[in-house]
Structure 1
Amino acid sequence: MKRRDALRLIGATVPALALRPGSLFAAEDTFKLAIGQRGNWENSVCELGQNAGIFKKHGVTLELLYTEGGGQTQQAVIAGSADIGIGVGTYGVMGAAAKGAPLKIIGSSMTGAHDLYWYAKTDGGIATIKEAAGKTVAYSTNGSSTNLVVLGLQKTLGIKFNPTATGSPSSTFTQVMSGQIDVGWASPPFGVKDVDGGRIKIVARGSDVPEFADQSVRVMIANARSFEGKADAYGRFMKGYREALDWLYADPAALDAYAAWAGADAALAKKVRDEFYPKQNLQPDKVNGLDKLMVDAVTYKYLPAPLDAGQLTKLVVAGTGPLAP
């Protein structure tokens, strides 16, 4: 091949490489993420996946901010200070979208609520959640999945609490142990050692609300303007997310990485993953139970009326178009 022809071939090849996601020369897209509750398994996917180089393979860089809960996460995305929010209560997202907030649901974060639990001091006089009628019962922030579960527990049990926003698991624990709150909330690994050590007693779980079992109680959201400006890049983000999720369940090194990240020992890390977070519950590409979620969102006054088909199509883009697996 003549030198001139070889140079012409290189000139034609380099631009093609530069456009190929994950290639050596690919320009990376940066996403700002707001994520509720650093430390729990579900919320580890992005940071641990990035640390392992998985998102970089797909031409994506993540800037991570951890929040006190789903309500704060959602507000960051609405304001545009975050492109993507992870682990946001679905009722709150639908309610905000109905009011015109620029949101897209790009994936399911969690189906079911088995990971969440409520506890009281062992010597505090509350042995079951039924004994908390009229007492303060914690949730993280307004519109969060913990808020949803507290409302669901009231409905399921037919009793009334005094639902109280308490922020993160650590701030909630302080309020419970100091007597400011009667029943706190947490998500593993937080508090598991205190349960095993007898300081606190689990009095309810998210799974005590049967209707949540097949519903996406938490979702991944995007700022609509950001999404519409680079939908293909969001598709690559979702490819990285799926790969990182698979890695967390398949590679023993991932479990070690989670233990170090969460400040847990190996046995606790494995217990958190296997007992509280079945992999199928974290699958992102379908938002489950939307019809029932909308009915409850109306009941709990997050929505004035169920979203119509057009509104749903505009809001929920998970698993479609560039986000398809």
Structure 2
Amino acid sequence: MSVSRIVKRAIVLLLLASASAAGNVTNVLAADIVKLAVGAPNNWDSSIPEIGQRAGIFAKHGLQLDILYTQGGGETMQAVISGSVDIGVAAGTHAAMGAFAKGAPVRILAAGTTGAGDLYWYVPAASPIKSFQDTNGKTAGFSTVGASTHITLLALIKHFGTSTRATATGAGASTLTQVLSGQIDVGWASPPFGLRQLQEGSIRLIARGNDAPSMVNQTVRVHIVNANALKQRADVINRFMQAYRETYEFLYSDPRGVRVFSEYSSVPEDLAIQIRDTFMPKPVLSPDKVSGLEAIMADAITFKTLSAPLSQQQLTELIQIPPRP
């Protein structure tokens, strides 16, 4: 090949590369940014936006996620109400209802987690506490006020009839520190957090969320959206839900889903599969229906996050899950 032909070929390749790069830049610039507040980073149920972003699913729908991680559902709720984020992932359903009833600009965009089988409470291995019935007068942790950990702990206390003192302890890591240092008697966790300590025997499980029968069929966590964002960015929010549903299917139906979660959470793949199959089977995370509304409202009234049941009209306004296309 002559020198001139080599030069011409190089120029053509350079122009093609430039055009491709320009196209990629245009795609990035054209993506709509969606701000999220997400409680409990690294958890299976709250990982769907992160997994979808890493797998390119949200980009395919023209979205770029800006994710803020919080200490729990209470912080997530406040971020959505203030309008500093568009969507909140894994907020407590009771708290969402209570905030809506008080006029807060919050709507339920999707069901998050139905049942509380992923939440568990534990004590140090040397603790004299053997079961939840032994927690009379003891302190037990939950993440933040209004979070699913809070409501589930109150349900456990009610079910077992104990005088346990519910205490806000923040995220799983800070809770473990408080338990092991003796600042609190009973800690809370959700997989993958704490599984290594359980396997090593440094902590003992004394209760799971579903030990309170009232929690089994309730959608305890929901994904919420700022009402103004829902109105002003309807197309963006609908595309978010399309990408969310696609990621949900990807996480359960494609082996790559577990691999992406493993990379994100630094959890071995075999443990990720155990979390999925034991704590988070697919129906638990179905986004399309908020289950157990009557029981949710009854408990919300009992635990004083709601003063009276919501009417059907109010529920219709609150729950705005976009239909599947």
Matched-pair contact (CA < 8 Å) for 1:42–1:277: yes
Matched-pair contact (CA < 8 Å) for 1:318–1:324: no
**1:225 aligned partner, one-letter code:** N
Q: Aligned partners of 2:106, 2:233: CA distance in 1, in Å?
A: 14
Please provide the CA RMSD for this pair.
Answer: 1.5
Query: 1:164 pairs with 163, 167, 192, which one?
Result: 167
1:44 matched residue in structure 2: 47
1:245 matched residue in structure 2: 248
1:258 matched residue in structure 2: 261
TM-score when normalising by structure 2 = 0.90
1:275 matched residue in structure 2: 278
2:114 matched residue in structure 1: 111
How many angstroms does 1:69 deviate by? Answer: 0.2
**1:114 aligned partner, one-letter code:** G
How many angstroms does 1:27 deviate by? Answer: 3.9
- Are residues 1:136 and 2:142 paired? no
2:59 matched residue in structure 1: 56
How many angstroms does 1:239 deviate by? Answer: 0.6
**1:203 aligned partner, one-letter code:** I
Q: Aligned partners of 1:275, 1:68: CA distance in 2, in Å?
A: 24
2:317 matched residue in structure 1: 314
Q: Aligned partners of 2:269, 2:114: CA distance in 1, in Å?
A: 25
**2:207 aligned partner, one-letter code:** A
1:3 matched residue in structure 2: none
Identity %: 48
Q: Which 5+ residue runs of structure 1 have no aligned equivalent?
A: 1-22
**1:176 aligned partner, one-letter code:** V
How many angstroms does 1:232 deviate by? Answer: 2.1
**1:50 aligned partner, one-letter code:** Q
How many angstroms does 1:292 deviate by? Answer: 1.3
Matched-pair contact (CA < 8 Å) for 1:215–1:290: yes
Query: For residues 73-84 of structure 1, what are the structure 2 equivalents within 5 Å?
Result: 73-84=76-87
- Are residues 1:222 and 2:225 paired? yes
2:150 matched residue in structure 1: 147
Report the 3-state secondary structure (helix = DSSP H, G, I; strand = E; otherwise coil) of the residue aligned with 1:41: coil
Report the 3-state secondary structure (helix = DSSP H, G, I; strand = E; otherwise coil) of the residue aligned with 1:106: strand
Report the 3-state secondary structure (helix = DSSP H, G, I; strand = E; otherwise coil) of the residue aligned with 1:287: coil
How many angstroms does 1:26 deviate by? Answer: 10
- Are residues 1:183 and 2:186 paired? yes
The change in CA–CA distance for 1:111 and 1:233 in structure 2 (over 3 A counts) is: same
Matched-pair contact (CA < 8 Å) for 1:91–1:294: yes
Query: 2:73 pairs with 44, 48, 70, which one?
Result: 70
Task: Determine which structure has more spread, i.e. the larger CA radius of gyration.
Answer: 2
Q: Write out the 4+ residue segments of structure 1 that deviate beyond 6 Å after TM superposition.
A: 23-26
Q: Aligned partners of 2:46, 2:153: CA distance in 1, in Å?
A: 21
TM-score when normalising by structure 1 = 0.90
- Are residues 1:202 and 2:205 paired? yes
Q: Aligned partners of 1:164, 1:241: CA distance in 2, in Å?
A: 33
Q: Which 5+ residue runs of structure 2 have no aligned equivalent?
A: 1-25
